[in-house]
Protein backbone atom coordinates (compact mmCIF):
# COMPACT_ATOMS: atom_id res chain seq x y z
CA UNK A 1 0.00 0.00 0.00
CA UNK A 2 1.36 3.40 -0.92
CA UNK A 3 1.30 6.15 1.65
CA UNK A 4 1.49 9.82 0.92
CA UNK A 5 2.51 12.49 3.34
CA UNK A 6 1.27 15.98 2.65
CA UNK A 7 2.30 18.98 4.64
CA UNK A 8 -0.75 21.05 5.54
CA UNK A 9 -0.76 24.00 7.91
CA UNK A 10 -2.16 23.07 11.29
CA UNK A 11 -4.98 25.60 11.19
CA UNK A 12 -6.22 24.33 7.82
CA UNK A 13 -6.07 20.72 8.98
CA UNK A 14 -8.06 21.55 12.10
CA UNK A 15 -10.73 23.38 10.10
CA UNK A 16 -11.03 20.54 7.61
CA UNK A 17 -11.35 18.00 10.43
CA UNK A 18 -14.09 20.06 12.07
CA UNK A 19 -16.05 20.32 8.82
CA UNK A 20 -15.84 16.55 8.28
CA UNK A 21 -16.97 15.90 11.86
CA UNK A 22 -19.93 18.29 11.57
CA UNK A 23 -21.01 16.69 8.30
CA UNK A 24 -20.79 13.21 9.82
CA UNK A 25 -22.70 14.25 12.95
CA UNK A 26 -25.40 15.86 10.81
CA UNK A 27 -25.83 12.62 8.87
CA UNK A 28 -26.22 10.63 12.09
CA UNK A 29 -28.79 13.11 13.44
CA UNK A 30 -30.87 12.89 10.26
CA UNK A 31 -30.75 9.08 10.37
CA UNK A 32 -31.86 9.06 14.01
CA UNK A 33 -34.76 11.42 13.30
CA UNK A 34 -35.83 9.31 10.35
CA UNK A 35 -35.87 6.22 12.55
CA UNK A 36 -37.89 7.87 15.33
CA UNK A 37 -40.15 10.39 13.65
CA UNK A 38 -40.84 8.87 10.26
CA UNK A 39 -43.86 6.55 10.18
CA UNK A 40 -43.08 2.96 9.31
CA UNK A 41 -43.95 1.69 5.89
CA UNK A 42 -47.44 0.13 6.17
CA UNK A 43 -46.40 -2.60 3.77
CA UNK A 44 -43.64 -3.65 6.16
CA UNK A 45 -46.03 -3.84 9.11
CA UNK A 46 -48.78 -5.68 7.29
CA UNK A 47 -48.81 -9.37 8.31
CA UNK A 48 -48.38 -12.04 5.68
CA UNK A 49 -51.58 -13.84 4.63
CA UNK A 50 -50.61 -16.98 6.57
CA UNK A 51 -50.07 -14.87 9.71
CA UNK A 52 -53.39 -13.06 9.62
CA UNK A 53 -55.99 -14.33 12.12
CA UNK A 54 -59.30 -15.62 10.92
CA UNK A 55 -61.95 -12.87 10.95
CA UNK A 56 -63.88 -13.00 14.20
CA UNK A 57 -67.55 -13.76 14.02
CA UNK A 58 -69.51 -10.58 14.72
CA UNK A 59 -71.17 -10.36 18.14
CA UNK A 60 -74.64 -11.82 18.07
CA UNK A 61 -74.02 -13.94 14.97
CA UNK A 62 -74.75 -17.10 16.94
CA UNK A 63 -77.19 -15.48 19.36
CA UNK A 64 -80.56 -17.11 19.79
CA UNK A 65 -83.54 -15.52 18.13
CA UNK A 66 -85.71 -15.41 21.24
CA UNK A 67 -88.62 -14.46 19.03
CA UNK A 68 -88.23 -17.72 17.13
CA UNK A 69 -87.16 -20.07 19.92
CA UNK A 70 -89.75 -19.27 22.58
CA UNK A 71 -93.39 -18.53 22.86
CA UNK A 72 -93.77 -14.77 22.72
CA UNK A 73 -96.35 -14.76 25.48
CA UNK A 74 -93.81 -16.47 27.74
CA UNK A 75 -91.09 -13.97 26.85
CA UNK A 76 -93.42 -11.05 27.54
CA UNK A 77 -94.38 -12.62 30.86
CA UNK A 78 -90.71 -12.86 31.86
CA UNK A 79 -90.01 -9.29 30.79
CA UNK A 80 -92.94 -7.99 32.80
CA UNK A 81 -91.87 -10.03 35.82
CA UNK A 82 -88.42 -8.49 35.64
CA UNK A 83 -89.86 -4.98 35.39
CA UNK A 84 -92.11 -5.53 38.41
CA UNK A 85 -89.26 -7.02 40.44
CA UNK A 86 -87.07 -3.97 39.79
CA UNK A 87 -89.57 -1.82 41.70
CA UNK A 88 -88.72 -3.73 44.87
CA UNK A 89 -84.95 -3.42 44.47
CA UNK A 90 -83.04 -2.42 47.57
CA UNK A 91 -80.38 -0.11 46.13
CA UNK A 92 -79.88 2.89 48.45
CA UNK A 93 -76.16 3.03 47.61
CA UNK A 94 -75.95 2.64 43.84
CA UNK A 95 -79.42 4.02 43.06
CA UNK A 96 -79.42 1.46 40.23
CA UNK A 97 -82.48 -0.82 40.46
CA UNK A 98 -82.36 -4.05 38.49
CA UNK A 99 -85.02 -6.68 37.94
CA UNK A 100 -84.48 -10.15 36.52
CA UNK A 101 -86.58 -13.15 35.62
CA UNK A 102 -85.63 -16.67 34.61
CA UNK A 103 -87.64 -19.12 32.55
CA UNK A 104 -87.03 -22.74 33.48
CA UNK A 105 -87.19 -25.88 31.38
CA UNK A 106 -90.84 -26.42 32.27
CA UNK A 107 -91.72 -22.80 31.35
CA UNK A 108 -92.07 -21.52 34.89
CA UNK A 109 -91.03 -17.91 35.55
CA UNK A 110 -89.17 -16.77 38.67
CA UNK A 111 -88.07 -13.21 39.36
CA UNK A 112 -85.75 -11.31 41.65
CA UNK A 113 -84.23 -7.88 42.24
CA UNK A 114 -80.89 -6.60 43.41
CA UNK A 115 -80.47 -6.37 47.18
CA UNK A 116 -77.59 -4.16 48.24
CA UNK A 117 -75.77 -4.25 51.55
CA UNK A 118 -73.90 -1.59 53.49
CA UNK A 119 -70.79 -3.78 53.28
CA UNK A 120 -71.10 -3.67 49.47
CA UNK A 121 -69.47 -7.08 49.06
CA UNK A 122 -72.60 -8.87 50.27
CA UNK A 123 -74.83 -7.28 47.64
CA UNK A 124 -76.91 -9.79 45.65
CA UNK A 125 -77.58 -9.10 41.99
CA UNK A 126 -81.06 -9.48 40.54
CA UNK A 127 -80.04 -12.34 38.22
CA UNK A 128 -78.61 -14.42 41.06
CA UNK A 129 -81.63 -13.60 43.20
CA UNK A 130 -84.00 -14.84 40.49
CA UNK A 131 -82.01 -18.03 40.00
CA UNK A 132 -82.02 -18.58 43.76
CA UNK A 133 -85.81 -18.28 43.78
CA UNK A 134 -86.03 -20.94 41.08
CA UNK A 135 -83.57 -23.31 42.77
CA UNK A 136 -85.41 -22.96 46.09
CA UNK A 137 -88.46 -24.36 44.34
CA UNK A 138 -86.63 -27.33 42.96
CA UNK A 139 -85.75 -25.99 39.52
CA UNK A 140 -82.40 -26.93 37.99
CA UNK A 141 -82.74 -25.96 34.33
CA UNK A 142 -82.71 -22.34 33.13
CA UNK A 143 -83.32 -21.62 29.47
CA UNK A 144 -83.92 -17.86 29.46
CA UNK A 145 -82.71 -15.01 31.65
CA UNK A 146 -84.30 -11.59 31.29
CA UNK A 147 -82.65 -8.51 32.79
CA UNK A 148 -84.45 -5.16 33.05
CA UNK A 149 -82.95 -1.81 34.00
CA UNK A 150 -84.81 1.54 33.96
CA UNK A 151 -82.19 3.06 31.68
CA UNK A 152 -81.84 4.24 28.09
CA UNK A 153 -79.35 1.50 27.26
CA UNK A 154 -79.68 -2.21 28.01
CA UNK A 155 -77.30 -3.60 30.62
CA UNK A 156 -75.78 -7.09 30.47
CA UNK A 157 -75.26 -9.31 33.53
CA UNK A 158 -72.04 -8.86 35.48
CA UNK A 159 -69.35 -11.52 35.39
CA UNK A 160 -70.43 -13.17 38.65
CA UNK A 161 -74.00 -13.49 37.42
CA UNK A 162 -72.86 -14.99 34.13
CA UNK A 163 -70.98 -17.64 36.09
CA UNK A 164 -74.06 -18.46 38.19
CA UNK A 165 -76.27 -18.61 35.09
CA UNK A 166 -73.78 -21.07 33.62
CA UNK A 167 -74.36 -23.38 36.59
CA UNK A 168 -77.99 -23.97 35.61
CA UNK A 169 -78.21 -22.78 32.01
CA UNK A 170 -74.97 -23.07 30.01
CA UNK A 171 -77.05 -22.90 26.83
CA UNK A 172 -79.47 -20.29 28.16
CA UNK A 173 -80.56 -17.28 26.16
CA UNK A 174 -79.98 -13.90 27.79
CA UNK A 175 -82.30 -11.01 26.98
CA UNK A 176 -81.58 -7.55 28.42
CA UNK A 177 -84.17 -4.79 28.04
CA UNK A 178 -84.61 -1.25 29.27
CA UNK A 179 -86.86 1.79 28.79
CA UNK A 180 -85.88 2.26 25.16
CA UNK A 181 -85.60 0.03 22.11
CA UNK A 182 -82.05 -0.90 23.11
CA UNK A 183 -81.66 -4.58 23.89
CA UNK A 184 -79.03 -7.29 24.23
CA UNK A 185 -79.84 -10.76 22.99
CA UNK A 186 -77.13 -13.41 23.28
CA UNK A 187 -76.42 -16.97 24.21
CA UNK A 188 -74.70 -17.22 27.57
CA UNK A 189 -71.81 -19.00 25.89
CA UNK A 190 -71.20 -15.81 23.88
CA UNK A 191 -71.14 -13.71 27.06
CA UNK A 192 -69.02 -16.21 29.02
CA UNK A 193 -66.71 -18.01 26.63
CA UNK A 194 -64.90 -21.21 27.66
CA UNK A 195 -66.67 -21.08 31.01
CA UNK A 196 -65.77 -23.23 34.00
CA UNK A 197 -68.74 -25.25 35.17
CA UNK A 198 -70.01 -28.55 36.63
CA UNK A 199 -68.81 -30.53 33.62
CA UNK A 200 -65.23 -29.56 34.45
CA UNK A 201 -65.50 -31.46 37.75
CA UNK A 202 -66.78 -34.70 36.25
- 181 belongs to the catalytic site: no
CA distance readout (Å), 166 to 3, 9, 58, 108, 112: 86, 90, 22, 18, 17
Q: Which of 43, 116, 127, 167 is catalytic?
A: 127
DSSP 20-47: HHHHHHHHHHHHHHHHHHSPPPHHHHSP
Torsion over CA: 156, 126, 181, 78 (sign): positive
Whether 87 and 130 have beta carbons less than 8 Å apart is answered as no
What residues act catalytically?
A: 127
Amino acid sequence: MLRFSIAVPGCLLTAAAMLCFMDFAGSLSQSARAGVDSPADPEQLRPMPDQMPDPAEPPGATAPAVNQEMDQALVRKAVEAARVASRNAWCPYSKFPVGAAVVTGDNEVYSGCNVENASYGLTICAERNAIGQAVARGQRDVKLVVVYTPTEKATAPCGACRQVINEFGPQAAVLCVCDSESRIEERLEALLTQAFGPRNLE
